[in-house]
Amino acid sequence: MFLYCGIACRRKFFWCYRLLSTYVTKTRYLFELKEDDDACKKAQQTGAFYLFHGLAPLLQTSAHQYLAPRHSLLELERLLGKFGQDAQRIEDSVLIGCSEQQEAWFALDLGLDSSFSIRASLHKPEMETELKGSFIELRKALFQLNARDASLLSTAQALLRWHDAHQFCSRSGQPTKKNVAGSKRVCPSNNIIYYPQMAPVVITLVSDGTRCLLARQSSFPKGMYSALAGFCDIGESVEETIRREVAEEVGLEVESLQYCASQHWPFPSGSLMIACHATVKPGQTEIQVNLRELETAAWFSHDEVATALKRKGPYTQQQNGTFPFWLPPKLAISHQLIKEWVEKQTCSSLPA
């Protein structure tokens, strides 16, 4: 969809009109809100707020799914007033996106202590009743949200967590101040700017040509296997991380690395998951599991993996005491990576 629109430029009275897509318009609007505190404050007047409590989003249940309700500034001010909290607390909110009609979306945590309100966490049950919802841990709810809400709430949680953990300048020890959008914090005593950070993680599906290697950490739900994942060490390229992680975790050497996709992942504190395929070097298929990192790892055939992709939960214990072999749900990037491998294998086995 294309429309005519005006983009407010820094220089007063200078407007340029040209054909821009809705996406570009939206992107430029968000950029403006991050750069201009007054514009962002104005956007809060007509904007909508996603609420959190102790980093758990407010959710409502609807037909086996969770919905994330939004509240206007007026509703939020009323709520804070009712619970004896200062409306200044709204200054803790962070910008997380906007609609195509340029309604700005913010996230606010009502449970974290802030300079505007301490001991806020006391009101959680009463707030849930008032808001007709529950504050549910994101880890439990993520896969029962639609893709848009999952992405917005993941961003919001990572950003709220980052602000909560970066209240002070690591050089001067003085309190830092966030800009209105929450895209940075500044130390007033030395002007050091802190930007929200995320940790790059590589997730790799290793193949030997016909089988793929899947592994379990003891913290995974019973029966679930996934591709190998690991944080990038400082100074490493993505390719170096893949080679090191595969060697560390399963004792194999890989080559023919191929990028698949990426995804923001809010756990443990905001990661950029970079998904890749890799092939083991010829003759290197014997797995040596690093038990400090993994519970187990094994090679799986195309048919085993294709069947597991189609399997639907709940994955309950079977009569023989074991759990069925299953794979991460659709929203997880590992699912996409494994699905892509299955599709490639299917194509390559078709007669030419």
267 binds ligand NAI (CB under 6 A): yes
Q: What are the angstrom distances between the C-alpha of 42 and each of 33, 47, 103? A: 9, 9, 11
Structure tokens at 274: 């970079």
Structure tokens at 157: 């949680």
The amino acid that residue 340 corresponds to is: E
To ligand NAI, the closest distance from the beta carbon of 231 in angstroms equals 4
220: left (phi over 0), alpha (psi -120 to 50) or beta: beta
Q: Which of 97, 200, 230, 329 binds Mg ion (CB under 5 A)?
A: 230
Contact of 258 with 277, CB cutoff 8 Å? yes
Q: Say which entry of ligand NAI, Mg ion, none residue 56 contacts (CB below 5 to 8 A, set by partner kind).
A: none
Q: Say which entry of Mg ion, ligand NAI, none residue 157 contacts (CB below 5 to 8 A, set by partner kind).
A: none
The amino acid that residue 165 corresponds to is: A
261 binds ligand NAI (CB under 6 A): no
CA 323/CA 320 separation, integer angstroms: 9
203 binds ligand NAI (CB under 6 A): yes
Residues 215-234, one symbol each (x = binds ligand NAI by CB under 6 A, - = not), give: -----------x--xxx---
DSSP sequence for 152-176: HHHHHHHHHHHHHH--B-TTT-PBP
145 binds ligand NAI (CB under 6 A): no
CA 183/CA 170 separation, integer angstroms: 18
Q: Which of 208, 293, 304, 340 binds ligand NAI (CB under 6 A)?
A: 293
Stretch that binds Mg ion, among 3-11, 227-235, 268-276, 298-306 (CB under 5 A): 227-235
Using CB under 6 A, count the residues that bind ligand NAI. Answer: 17
Q: Interface residues with Mg ion (CB under 5 A)?
A: 229-230
Q: Interface residues with ligand NAI (CB under 6 A)?
A: 199, 201, 203, 226, 229-231, 265, 267-268, 271, 273, 293, 328, 332-334
